[in-house]
């Protein structure tokens, strides 16, 4: 029995083996999805806390807006190291559970190391700790997005393609995990407004220490839960099977092309870079913006306004998910990103309540852009899904590049005029939204869909077919659902 227990805790998974993970029903996928949803909340909370700390450190450490963006540089600059480096390697050689545990360990380690940095008032030291935390969160996000993609073919991944009318409607509940990211971004600024800005410098910094200690304890406990839990692992063979079942890889045979020719993926990664850079820059200097353009606004009140705008962001995520039941996600994405551009432009010149209202609306329409770029960019990648996830998440690096540009512009010309920086990057990301709506080569891939029984009915437990020595890359996965065997699809080497 002890040997069996430790065997079930193994973190290594064979990628060339088909498992039951690609065919989970809602009941079977509920527990792992709940665990992963907690991860989405965690990095939403961490991101929201970072935006609040940006202004807090400007006040307590007397640093410029450009220098305070070092927090964003450290946080988002860590993402490519994770998504294209250690987390990507671990995901391909071990499995999702291993990456979840690794990411939580780095997150907790960075939170603990932040405490002595705060005690010694070392901004540079705190940035190093944020870099460690960013590596942990980058690892979690690299794994979580394709994991939710794979646990059910129509969860793809968090706000994706509309469910065919003859599919069971219980699959709808799988669209919401990433919306809990928005809830985390609401709670953090509210917390910051009460524990950072309403106390003297010494007390405020002590409160920051307690916040990071609590974070460390929680994520280490969550890491233990992931280790002790038995959650389904998803292999490259599973993802190739899903692409074959939904015919998502049929358009231009995208799933069968070598990775270097996945040009739509690279365009999505570019769009993610530009969009994330804009989103992070606006949130990072939100408090600066409202205190400058709205007379009489304190930093504490600005933090509460930030929480309110993040609440709109969270509402937008749930509303966007609902809209995608009635309209194609690519159309909703185009509409939302277009409105971001329309309402961001007036923030450059407007003042007072008008400027604040414009910024609220921008953050409302930002809501669905990040997860939808992930979903559309990964559509039809099949056996390249894990690597593709790494590239799209690496686009988060934009959050390390755009805020310093906006900070430098704000130091020279004020935060209002500096809003032209994120506006330009919104326009660059818009090129992808236009492509997936009007260029058939893009549009046909994201629209490719067919009715399937996968994930609707129960099927036998255990490992299914092995795709051969070379895994999913060794050939196509073909076949049809057998009525009596309830969803078992056999694979054959081409």
Q: What is the pLDDT of residues 373-412, one digit of tens each?
A: 988 888 777 677 778 888 888 888 998 899 999 989 998 9
In three-state secondary structure terms, 466 is: strand
Phi, psi angles (nearest 5°) of residue 135: -65, -40
CA distances from 3 to 8, 228, 230, 352, 417 (A): 9, 14, 15, 66, 64
Residue 73 has pLDDT above 80, yes or no: yes
Residues 128-155: pLDDT tens digits? Answer: 998 999 999 889 888 887 777 655 444 4
**DSSP letter string, 189-220:** HHHHHHHTSSS-HHHHHHHHHHHHHHHHHHHH
Confidence bin at 424 (pLDDT 50/70/90): very high
Residue 166 has pLDDT above 50, yes or no: no
Q: For 80-84, 198-202, 294-298, 337-341, which range has the lowest pLDDT when averaged over its residues?
A: 198-202
Task: State how far the Cα of 354 lies from the Cα of 346, in Å rounded to an integer.
Answer: 9
Average pLDDT on 251-261 reads 63
Q: Most confidently modeled of 23-37, 352-366, 476-490?
A: 352-366
Residues 6+ apart with CB under 8 A from 89: none
In three-state secondary structure terms, 25 is: coil
Task: State how far the Cα of 266 lies from the Cα of 85, in Å rounded to an integer.
Answer: 17
What's the gap between Cα 210 and its chain centre? 26
- The more confidently predicted of residues 83 and 278 is 278
CATH assignment of 22-454, among 1.20.1250.20, 2.60.120.10, 3.90.1150.10, 2.40.30.260? 1.20.1250.20
CB 432 within 8 A of CB 270: yes
Task: State how far the Cα of 334 lies from the Cα of 338, in Å rounded to an integer.
Answer: 6
Task: State how far the Cα of 255 lies from the Cα of 239, in Å rounded to an integer.
Answer: 10
Maximum pairwise Cα distance, the chain = 70
Task: State how far the Cα of 168 lies from the Cα of 318, in Å rounded to an integer.
Answer: 20
Whole-model pTM: value is 0.71
Side-chain-facing half-sphere of 420: CA atoms under 13 Å: 8
- CA-nearest of 476, 265, 472 to 379 is 265
Residue 15: per-residue pLDDT: 55
Residue 331 has pLDDT above 60, yes or no: yes
């Amino acid at each position: 029995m002890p040997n069996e227990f430790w065997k079930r805790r193994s973190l290594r998974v064979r990628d060339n083996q088909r498992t039951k993970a690609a065919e989970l029903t809602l009941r079977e996928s509920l527990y792992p999805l709940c665990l992963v949803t907690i991860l989405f909340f965690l990095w939403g909370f961490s991101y929201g806390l970072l935006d609040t700390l940006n202004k807090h450190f400007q006040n307590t450490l007397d640093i410029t807006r450009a220098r305070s963006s070092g927090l964003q540089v450290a946080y988002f600059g860590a993402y490519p190291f994770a998504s294209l480096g250690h987390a990507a390697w671990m995901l391909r050689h071990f499995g999702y559970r291993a990456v979840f545990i690794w990411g939580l360990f780095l997150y907790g380690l960075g939170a603990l190391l932040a405490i002595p940095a705060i005690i010694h008032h070392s901004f540079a030291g705190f940035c190093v700790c944020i870099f460690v935390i960013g590596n942990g969160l980058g690892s979690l996000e690299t794994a979580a997005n394709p994991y939710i993609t794979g646990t059910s073919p129509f969860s793809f991944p968090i706000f994706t393609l509309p469910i065919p009318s003859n599919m069971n409607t219980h699959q709808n509940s799988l669209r919401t995990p990433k919306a809990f990211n928005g809830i985390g971004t609401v709670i953090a600024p509210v917390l910051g407004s009460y524990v950072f800005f309403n106390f003297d410098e010494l007390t405020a910094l002590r409160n920051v220490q307690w916040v990071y200690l609590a974070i460390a304890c929680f994520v280490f406990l969550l890491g233990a839960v992931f280790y002790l839990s038995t959650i389904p692992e998803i292999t490259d063979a599973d993802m190739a099977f899903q692409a074959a079942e939904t015919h998502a890889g049929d358009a231009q045979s995208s799933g069968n092309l070598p990775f270097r020719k996945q040009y739509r993926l690279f365009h999505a990664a570019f769009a993610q870079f530009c969009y994330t850079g804009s989103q992070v820059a606006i949130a990072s200097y939100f408090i600066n913006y409202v205190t400058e353009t709205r007379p009489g606004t304190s930093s504490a009140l600005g933090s509460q306004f930030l929480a309110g705008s993040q609440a709109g962001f969270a509402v937008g995520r749930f509303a966007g998910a609902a809209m995608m039941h009635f309209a194609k996600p690519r159309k909703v994405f185009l509409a939302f990103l277009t409105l971001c551009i329309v309402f961001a432009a007036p923030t450059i010149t407007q003042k007072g309540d008008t400027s604040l209202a414009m910024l609220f609306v921008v953050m409302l329409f930002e809501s669905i852009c990040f997860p939808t770029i992930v979903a559309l960019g990964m559509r039809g990648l099949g056996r390249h899904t894990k690597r593709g996830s790494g590239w799209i998440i690496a686009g988060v690096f934009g959050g390390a590049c755009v805020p310093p540009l906006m900070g430098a512009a704000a130091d020279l010309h004020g935060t209002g005029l500096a809003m032209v920086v994120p506006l330009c990057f919104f326009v660059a990301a818009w090129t992808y939204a236009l492509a997936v709506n009007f260029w058939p080569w893009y549009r046909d891939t994201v629209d490719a869909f067919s009715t399937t029984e996968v994930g609707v009915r129960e099927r036998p437990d255990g490992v299914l077919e092995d795709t051969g020595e070379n895994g999913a890359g060794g050939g196509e996965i073909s076949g049809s659902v057998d009525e009596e065997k309830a969803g078992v699809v056999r694979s054959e080497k081409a």
